[in-house]
Amino acid sequence: MKKTQIIVIGNGMVGYKFCEKLKSKSESFNLIVFGEECRRAYDRVHLSEYFNGKTAEDLSLSTATWYEEQNITLFLSNPITKIDRDFKMVYAADGLSYSYDYLVFATGSAAFVPTIPGVEKDGVFVYRTIEDLELISEFAKKAKTGAVIGGGLLGLEAAKALIDLGIEQTHIIEFAPRLMPRQIDVAGSEMLKSKLADLGLKIHLNKNTTSIVGDGKIAAMQFSDDTNLEVDMLVISAGIKPRDELAKACGIEVGQRGGILVNEKMQTSDPSVFAIGECALYDGMIYGLIAPGYEMAEVLAANLCEGDKEFTGFDMSTKLKLIGIDVASFGDNFIDEPDCRTIIFENKHKGIYSRINVSNDGQYLLGGILIGDATAYNMLLQTVNNKIVLPENPEELIFGSRSGGESDGAGITSLPDSALICSCEGVSKGDICSAVTDQNCENLDDIKKCTKAGTGCGGCIPMVKDLMVHTFKSQGKYVKNVICEHFNYSRQELFDLIHIHELKSYDEVLNEFGKNDGCEVCKPLVASLLASLWNEMILKKGNDVAQDSNDRFLANIQKGGSYSVVPRVPGGEITPDKLIIIGEVAKKYNLYTKITGGQRIDMFGAHLNDLPIIWEELIAAGFESGHAYGKGLRTVKSCVGSTWCRFGLHDSVSYAIRIEERYRGIRAPHKFKSAVSGCIRECAEAQSKDFGIIATEKGWNLYVCGNGGSKPQHALLLATDLDSETCIKYIDRFLMFYIRTADPLTRTATWLNKMEGGIDYLRNVVINDSLGMAEQWEQEIENLISSYKCEWKEAVENPAIRKRFSHFVNAPEEKDPTIEFVDMRGQKRVAEWKTSNQI
Amino acid sequence: MTDTSNWLAACRVEDAVENGGVCVKNGEEQIALFYFKRRNEWFATQNECPHRKQMALSRGMIGSTTDEPKVACPFHKKTFSLHTGECLSGDECAIKTYPVKIDNGIVYIGKSPK
Ligand code: SRM
Ligand SMILES: Cc1cc2nc3c(=O)[nH]c(=O)nc-3n(C[C@H](O)[C@H](O)[C@H](O)COP(=O)(O)OP(=O)(O)OC[C@H]3O[C@@H](n4cnc5c(N)ncnc54)[C@H](O)[C@@H]3O)c2cc1C
Ligand code: SF4
Ligand code: FES
């Protein structure tokens, strides 16, 4: 069967989006695209970034091979010049003709240039394509003064670009009595004006340009009030003009003031011809923004695939993208009393102006304007769009915002899952949350890839971040800044508070600094802080129930509900006798054994009830807890070193054992690992550890902040040729600095990645003691080291704690009968998850 | 005296774990019993987490969200309301909850779910 042939005129943002959407929905179309520009569709919204070093390729919306991969025929620099609707044919500039079943106009718009005598002179530009920007930047090299006609969204952007290009004297000429007349009111405009003046822009309102004078090249602008202004160059940004000329020429209906007339199916007066994006006129309106354009693309693509979608208008809320100046308008921004109640907040000193329009019954937010501080923009927009009932004092919406109302994520919980967060790509709150929970997105980039949210205008990014952090929190995963609903502090703040107030139990901390009952986020965090500070037995003082299951039972819980047993084997060195003990214990309690990646032996499959007796036997034979369950020191791996190896420079095994015994049991924001290699061949893989040590001719090189795991990162060299004592001193300081300041569940590598100043700063702190903390830290870590006790020894010797290691409170001798093992290679393994029916 | 045809005598009050859970055997069944001392409340639910069918909830951490008491499964941290059994992590599954009463220092759990 012959495929339906669709021809798209225009390879701009909306035309491209249409191809992408159609291809993702169906393979049953032949797509041919004609572009007038010489480039593949690019991101016009971020066009100004071309001046900040982005290349045309960076701005491109697709890769060079995308169209081919998608089986789309793309012609560039080949505009359509004529359409014959009777024969359903288009004629391209290269002289060839093509037939279509459906024709799509995505011709966008051009800059509107008013008929001022002299606009054709050299040095007068528009601001729409990459070519325009190339011409402007070339010309700006020779120019000292410049002007922009138009004080709207685009005009301001163009003016800022001129300043960035080094034009010191830049003027903005606006015909209306205020700036951004479509978005903001007079008071807001005044505030904005003073902000722009600070940037060095000269603003002229109520100015009507009557002619552009100069000899072939612009020299000055003449205004209706008989004044003039000498300029070397001019950018005209007075609005847009839909590209409807082709449609008009072939008899398709267009609006009086331009634009191809479409219905809610994006259909023109000819049923086989459609128009989308900035060339389409819907309900008397040209939508000069990207989000409505993308929505039109979606509507048309869906309908061609036998869907049933309608375009019913679109929210025109916008935010200015200039760095350093916040301007936003949302919802019904101009509605005034008596049709609503208006609340205005103005702070001239700080340059903040906020206005919100509230329904007369005080229930709903209708719209508003924000200047100087638009952090609340996304949340306010959501409040309008989702008709969220306002709090009793709606003014808190704008006052509260200044103390970070949005950044702490408050409010996003109240949004329904269907709330549209990214309007460009049509991504809802539910989509973003499930990207985090179900598709394991761990950062903004993952979410962008997965959902496309934030890849259009980018305005929703702060909100996407908040949602991400919020979802992390509810998963108990990674918590930024404020710990959870029960503690209004960061980890670091709480660390200091607990320290100063000398608190020793979770309940005390909750009573003093928290509220309600706590949860699975703050409990283990506080328990870890208590352990880092005091190094007391973690199961005492009621702190046992504030621990993750692994810490609470001093063993890692495994699939099925059994536990693993990992004794410490410092430096990986073990005697034959001890190997035999491990073998005997494993045999006696029917445990699976495996050599771990950390140079020790793991015994899996222990029943909760058996843990104390297993450990009793191990301890009697001289073993101690390996803390495989805790956020603390894991292993210090070693290579065999100078005692046996022909290349070994120093005794790496002895040094590894010394280090492992020094830091064992110390709790930190996350686990930390180490290794010591006897020479640069690096058999212990020290450079992949949180701190790693490599022998040199003269001493030890110390590396820090390395990581294996899912995002491997090599450790960085902190200091060279250290003697053994100095090396340990630096590690002491390094560890205490990490323990005190890292966010929860942050490994040293991530901690360093976020540290301003990076490794140089860290080196300064650790080696040069730039914070003046070294002495205190060395003392603190000494206290931790001297208070070390084997937790398992304490647990088996304390009847109250020991009693907790039974499965049934009313049948302490019985083991959990539901745990199932199966045979594998002569050992046991745990049975597979029983399939779940619900999730 | 408590009627033991409807109520299971689970344990003594001092055997329960303050602000945590224990597991109670009721024939073939396993019930998680929580002594929420901070709120001075007792809760009982099925011990099996519906997510991966793990006998684990009694080993979970308890806490609250807004004012709803909850337990977090130690395996993947799905959370469930201790009042209603509803899954608070947005999954379509719920756990059974049982009435609890204290009589003469003994904790009793209702034999049929709420
Ligand atoms: C047993 C072992 C695998 C093995 O059979 O070899 C293992 C087992 C687990 N690893 Fe590992 N890791 C083991 C060596 C490693 C190594 C290799 C090493 O240490 O040289 C790495 C990469 C090095 C590193 O950490 O930088 C490693 C990177 C991880 C990570 C990723 C950490 C990261 O920052 O990206 C996790 C996840 C986490 O900790 O959040 C993890 C977590 C886990 C957990 C705890 C998952 C869990 O929560 O249940 C596994 C526990 C099993 C258990 O019950 O004991 N394991 N894990 C190894 C135990 C070493 C030991 O003796 O203590
Ligand atoms: C500097 C700048 C900043 C902007 N900032 C924002 C912003 O912050 N937020 C926002 O929402 N929007 C912004 N916009 C607007 C946004 O870029 C447009 O809404 C969007 O590009 C419209 O897409 P479109 O595909 O309809 O038109 P276009 O992207 O203009 O694409 C139309 C294409 O069709 C081609 N064409 C025309 N006629 C023919 C023909 N006969 N044959 C073949 N090809 C033809 C044109 O050459 C053009 O390449 C900005 C625009 C500019 C210029
Ligand atoms: S790599 Fe994954 S599966 Fe293997 S032990 Fe580590 S955490 Fe478990
Ligand atoms: S088994 Fe309980 S959350 Fe997965």
Confidence band of A417 (pLDDT split at 50, 70, 90)? confident
Given the CA of residue A706, which atom of ligand 1 is nearest to it? 26
Structural domain harbouring A427: 416-464
Cα distance between residue B45 and residue A242, in whole Å = 65
Residue A433: list chain B partners with CB under 8 A: 90
On whether residue A804 sits in a domain, the answer given is no
Q: Which chain B residues touch A545 with a CB distance below 8 Å? A: 17-20, 61-62
Q: In chain B, which residues have their Cβ closer than 8 Å to the Cβ of A516?
A: 64, 67
pLDDT at B24 over 50: yes
Interior/surface letters B39-75, b for 16+ CB within 10 angstroms, e for the rest: beebbbbbbbbbbbbbbbbbbbbbbbbeeebbbbbbb
Q: Around Cβ A822, how many Cβ atoms within 10 Å?
A: 9
Q: How far apart are CA B17 and CA A280, in angstroms?
A: 68
HEC string for A120-183? CCECEEECCCHHHHHHHHHHHCCCCEEEEECCCHHHHHHHHHHHHCCCCEEEEECCCCCCCCCC
Flag whether pLDDT at A477 surpasses 70. Answer: no
Are residue A130 and residue A215 in the same domain, yes or no? yes
The closest alpha carbon to A362, from A343, A349, A346, belongs to: A343
The pLDDT assigned to A839 comes to 41
User: Above 90 in pLDDT, residue A425?
Assistant: no
Report the CATH number at residue A209. Answer: 3.50.50.60
Residue with the smallest CA separation from ligand 1 atom 33 is A709
pLDDT at A278 over 80: yes
Residue B84 has pLDDT above 90, yes or no: yes
**What average pLDDT score do residues A157-169 get?**
90
Tokens of A691: 């701190």
The answer to whether A520 contacts B63, with C-beta atoms less than 8 Å apart, is: yes
Q: Are A278 and A405 in a shared domain?
A: no
A726 lines ligand 1 (CB under 6 A): no
| pLDDT for residue B44 is more than 70 | yes
In angstroms, the first-to-last Cα distance of chain B is 21
> Are the beta carbons of A465 and A436 closer than 8 angstroms?
no
What is the three-class DSSP state of B73?
Answer: coil
Q: Is the pLDDT of residue A399 over 70?
A: no
Compare CB distances from A839 to B10, B65, B91 and report the shortest one's residue.
B91
From A436's Cα to the closest Cα of chain B, the distance in A is: 13
CA of A603 relative to ligand 3 center, distance in Å = 15
In terms of Cα–Cα distance, which of A127, A133, A138 is closest to A235?
A: A127
Q: Is the CB of B76 under 6 A from ligand 4?
A: yes
Position A52: which residue type? Answer: N
Mutate which of B51, B59, B70 to test ligand 4's pocket (most atoms within 8 Å of Cβ)? B51
Output the CA torsion A622→A628→A633→A634 (10° steps): 90
Q: Write the single-letter amino acid at A80.
A: I
Exposure string of A426-444, with b = 16+ CB inside 10 Å and e = fewer, is: bbbbbbbbbbbbeeebeee
Same structural domain, A295 and A331 = no
| Whole-number pLDDT of residue A769 | 92
Position A350 pLDDT exceeds 90 = no
In a domain, A601, yes or no: no
Cα A394 from Cα A415, distance rounded (Å): 17
Residue partners of A135: CB distance under 8 A and separation at least 6: A125
Indicate which residue's Cα is closest to atom 12 of ligand 2: A289
pLDDT digits (tens, 9 = 90+) for A495-520: 888 988 889 999 999 999 999 999 99
Residues paired with A633 in a beta bridge: A672
Q: How far is CA B28 from the centre of its chain?
A: 17
Q: What pLDDT is stored for residue A835 in this prediction?
A: 57
CA of A634 to the centre of ligand 1 (A): 9
List of residues 6+ apart from A471 with CB closer than 8 A: A432, A433, A436, A437
Query: Residues A450, A453, A454, A457: is their CA dihedral positive or negative?
Result: positive
Give the gap in angstroms from C-alpha B64 to the nearest C-alpha of chain A.
6
Determine the residue of A20, A36, A80, A279 to mutate for testing ligand 2's pocket, defined as the one with the most ligand atoms within 8 A of the Cβ atom. A36
A639 annotated binding-site participant: yes
Query: Are residues A638 and A774 both part of a single domain?
Result: yes
Indicate whether A223 belongs to any domain. Answer: yes
| Distance from C-alpha of B87 to C-alpha of A260, rounded to nearest angstrom | 51
User: What's the A627 CA to ligand 1 centre distance in angstroms?
Assistant: 12
Q: Is A450 annotated as a binding residue?
A: no
Please check whether residue A617 lies inside any domain of the structure: no
- Identify the CA nearest to A320 among candidates A207, A419, A428, A182: A182
Report pLDDT for B66.
Answer: 85
Give CA angle at A355 (A353, A359), nearest 5°.
Answer: 170
Q: What is the pLDDT of residues A228-275, one digit of tens each?
A: 999 999 999 999 999 999 999 999 999 999 999 999 999 999 999 999
Question: Using CA atoms, how far apart are residues A172 and A154, in angstroms rounded to an integer?
Answer: 11
For the stretch A178-202, pLDDT in tens is 999 888 998 889 989 988 888 889 9
Q: Which residues, listed in sequence order, are joined to residue A625 by a DSSP beta bridge? A: A567
User: Of the residues A786, A806, A825, which one is the last residue of a structural domain?
Assistant: A786
A683 is in an annotated binding site: yes
Number of domains, chain A: 6
* Cα–Cα distance for residue pair A28/A301, rounded to 1 Å: 12
CA dist A806 and A73 (Å) reads: 69
Statement: residue A837 has pLDDT above 80: no
Query: Using CB atoms, which residue from B52, B69, B90 is nearest to A836?
Result: B52
Give the C-alpha separation, A260 to A270, whole Å. Answer: 11
* Closest chain B residue to A474, measured at CA: B89
Residue A666 lies in a domain: yes
> In chain A, what percentage of residues exceed pLDDT 90?
64
* Statement to judge: residues A670 and A736 lie in one domain: yes
A673/A257: higher pLDDT: A673
Together in a domain, A223 and A250: no
Cα A58 from Cα A661, distance rounded (Å): 52
Please give the structure tokens belonging to residue A9. 């005129």
Report helix, strand or coil for B39: helix
Cβ within 8 Å, pair B64-A519: yes
Instruction: Specify whether A452 is located in the same domain as A532.
Output: no
What is the model's pLDDT at position A758? 86
CATH number, position A703: 3.30.413.10
Quick one: A247 and A291 in the same domain?
A: yes
Burial of B79 (0-12, 13-18, 19+ CB in 10 A): buried
Residue count of chain B: 114
Top-ranked range on mean pLDDT: pick from A21-30, A40-49, A261-270, A347-356:
A261-270
| Confidence at residue A745, expressed as pLDDT on a 0 to 100 scale | 83
Residue A88 sits in the same domain as residue A132? no
* pLDDT for A323: 62
Residues from chain B that touch A551, judged by Cβ atoms under 8 A, are none
> Do the Cβ atoms of A433 and A469 come closer than 8 Å?
no
CATH code of A325's domain: 3.30.390.30
Rg from Cα positions in chain B: 13
Cβ within 8 Å of residue A645, ≥6 positions away = A639, A678, A679
What is the spatial distance between Cα A696 and Cα A717, in angstroms, rounded to a whole number? 13
| Residue A205 CB-density burial (10 A; 0-12 exposed, 13-18 middle, 19+ buried) | middle
Query: Does residue A397 lie within any of the structural domains?
Result: yes
Among B11, B19, B93, the strongest candidate for a mutation testing the A interface, having the largest count of A CBs within 10 A, is: B19
Note the pLDDT of residue A403: 36
- By CB atoms closer than 10 A (0-12, 13-18, 19+), residue A623 is buried
What is the number of the ligand 4 atom nearest to the C-alpha of B54? 1
pLDDT digit string, tens, across residues A1-26: 689 999 999 999 999 999 999 999 99
Tell me: do A156 and A269 sit in the same domain. no
pLDDT(B90) > 70: no
Residue type, A204: H
Chain B residues lying within 8 Å of A548, measured CB to CB:
61, 74
| Chain A hits for B11, Cβ within 8 Å | 809-810
The residues facing A692 across adjacent strands are A675, A703
Percent of chain A with pLDDT over 70: 96
**Tokens standing for residue A566:** 């990992």
Residues A780 and A666 sit within 8 Å (Cβ to Cβ): no
**Residue A112: what pLDDT?**
94
Q: What is the pLDDT of residue A406?
A: 37
Q: Is the pLDDT of residue A44 over 60?
A: yes
Q: Sketch out chain B's domains with CATH numbers.
A: 7-110 (2.102.10.10)
List the single residue in B with minimal CA-CA distance to A547. B61
| Of A458-467, A647-656, A753-762, highest mean pLDDT | A647-656
- Tell me whether residues B66 and A808 touch, CB distance under 8 A: no
Average pLDDT over residues A127-151: 95
What's the pLDDT at B110?
A: 94
In a domain, A217, yes or no: yes
User: Is residue A777 in a domain?
Assistant: yes
CA dihedral A131→A137→A139→A141, nearest 10 degrees, is -160
CB burial of A16-31 (b: ≥16 within 10 Å; e: otherwise) equals bbbbbbbbebeeebeb
Nearest-10 Cα torsion for B51, B53, B57, B63: 0
CB A638 within 8 A of CB A599: yes
Which residues does A86 contact at the CB level (< 8 Å), separation at least 6?
none
- Rounded Cα distance, A59 and A279, in Å: 22
Nearest-CA residue for atom 41 of ligand 1: A709
Calpha distance A709→A670 (Å, rounded)? 13
- Nearest by CB to residue A517, choosing from B56, B63, B92, is B63
* A812, HSE (Cβ side, Cα atoms, 13 Å): 7
Q: Ligand 1 mean position to A597 CA, how many Å?
A: 8
Predicted local distance difference test score (pLDDT) of residue A76: 96
Sign for the CA dihedral angle at A335, A337, A340, A341 comes to: positive
Query: SS in 3 state form for A683-718?
Result: CCCHHHCCEEEEECCCCEEEEECCECCCCCECCEEE
Helix crossing, A506-513 with A522-534: angle to 10°?
Answer: 110
Cα of A745 from ligand 1 centre, angstroms: 14
Q: Around A412, how many Cα atoms within 13 Å sit in the side-chain half-sphere?
A: 27
Ligand 4 touching residue B52 (CB < 6 A) = yes
- In 3-state terms, chain A is what percent helix, strand and coil (to 5)? 35, 20, 45
List Cα–Cα distances, A500 to A16, A503, A523, A686, A715, in angstroms. 60, 8, 19, 36, 34
Q: What is the pLDDT of residues A199-224, one digit of tens each?
A: 889 999 999 999 999 999 999 999 99
pLDDT at A404: 35
DSSP string, A184-238: --HHHHHHHHHHHHHTTEEEE-S--EEEEESSSB--EEEETTS-EEE-SEEEE-S
Compare A33 and A427 and report the one with higher pLDDT.
A33
What are the Cα distances from residue A485, in Å, to A188, A432, A515? 36, 21, 8
Percent of chain B as helix, strand, coil, to the nearest 5: 10, 50, 40
The residue of chain B nearest to residue A807, with distances taken between CA atoms, is B23
CATH number for A420? 1.10.10.1100
Whether A106 lines ligand 2, by a CB cut-off of 6 Å, is yes
Residue A756: its pLDDT value, please? 76
For residue A812, which phi and psi values (nearest 5 degrees)? -55, -25
Please tell me if the CB atom of residue A13 comes closer than 6 angstroms to any atom of ligand 2: yes
Domain match, A407 and A420 both: no
Domain shared by A650 and A782, yes or no: yes
At A402, the pLDDT band (50, 70, 90 cuts) reads very low
Residue A80 has pLDDT above 70, yes or no: yes
Residues from chain B that touch A518, judged by Cβ atoms under 8 A, are: 63-64
Q: What type of residue sits at position A566? A: V
